[in-house]
Amino acid sequence: MDVTPEGTPNPNAVKFTLDRPAVEGRGQTFRAGSDPADSPLGARIFALDGVTNVFATSNFVSVTKEDDVSWDELVPQVIAQLEAHFEGDA
């Protein structure tokens, strides 16, 4: 699986472009209070420490984090969760 993280104008958000569709149908947003059944991928990434919002659509996933969390630590964790999700690893 090929995942390419890209910065966005928001320093607390990174766009992860995938080599496959991120979701079927319309986009999905996952944040505090969202039902994990509505977006298993979103729930998986949201469970990482410091993540405040996950938006998945088309061939990318956008992740927003808290100010005090480092992308140096979070990017590899998000990529690992994306790979595990698409490889069917629970």
Q: The domain that contains 57 carries what CATH number? A: 3.30.1370.70
Q: Which domain range does residue 77 map to?
A: 3-86
For residue 4, give the 3-state DSSP assignment.
Answer: strand
Q: What predicted TM-score, i.e. pTM, was given to this entire model?
A: 0.94
**Structural domain total, the chain:** 1
> Closest Cα to residue 14, out of 61, 79, 68?
61
- pLDDT at position 89 is 65
Instruction: Give the whole-angstrom CA distance, residue 1 versus residue 35.
Output: 27
- pLDDT at position 82 is 97
Output the six-digit token pair for 32: 């505090």
pLDDT, one tens digit per residue, over 1-49 is 999 999 999 999 999 999 999 998 899 999 999 999 989 999 999 999 9
pLDDT, one tens digit per residue, over 52-86 is 999 999 999 999 999 999 999 999 999 999 999 99
Positive or negative: CA dihedral 52, 57, 21, 39 = positive
